[in-house]
Amino acid sequence: MSTRQELVEAALRLASTSGFGALSVRGVAREAGVGATTLRHYFPSQADLHLAVTTELVTSLLHDLDIEDDTGDPAGRLYDCLEQFLPDPAREISLRGSWFDLYCTALAPNAPAALRNVLRAAHEASATAVRRWLSALVAQGHLAEEDVEDQAAHVLAMINGLHLCAVIEPERYDLPREKRLLRWYTRRLLSG
């Protein structure tokens, strides 16, 4: 019998090769070499499967880097963490199977509702990472505890705006400009 983690890994392989639209119970069961009943044992609904896969993907892509190292500039450390949300310049903007591909696919005109649920789960996993990074800055005295929730919402709005620009006009997407905006934003966030 497959473990929950093995099933999540099979789902990630499937998303990597076929895109997030392929994340169905039958598709993942086939990729894992198990029956749908086995998959349903660990993931009673497709939403449960999507949540687990998305959380694993976001967790594997977003690292804490040096956010805990208070010897460096706090705005620079936060920028380094947030920069992980931007497309990797060494790859295509919509790398198949990446979290950025999820945004592109889930916001497409005919996107299935299930993909919007995946995007919602990715947003929540991302929010958890951002709150963790901001809480590290609170512990170091760079941000007030009562500001974490509002600042996390602001950070995610900024990231979502950058994603939207790339989705709407990928041919005009200017990664260096996006990085400058993100750097400016993190400095402003911690200066006031």
67-79 confidence digits (pLDDT tens): 999 999 999 999 9
What class does CATH assign to 4-57? mainly alpha
Query: So what's the architecture of 59-191 in CATH?
Result: Orthogonal Bundle (1.10)
Q: Which residues contact 90 (CB under 8 A, 6 or more apart)?
A: none
d(CA 32, CA 12): 10
Specify the pTM: 0.80
- pLDDT tens-digit readout, 109-164: 887 777 777 788 888 889 999 999 999 999 999 999 999 999 999 999 998 888 77
Residue given tokens 């299930």 in the structure block? 114
pLDDT band at 86 (very low <50, low <70, confident <90, very high): confident
Q: Where are the domains of the chain?
A: 4-57, 59-191
d(CA 126, CA 46): 20
* pLDDT of the residue at 154: 95
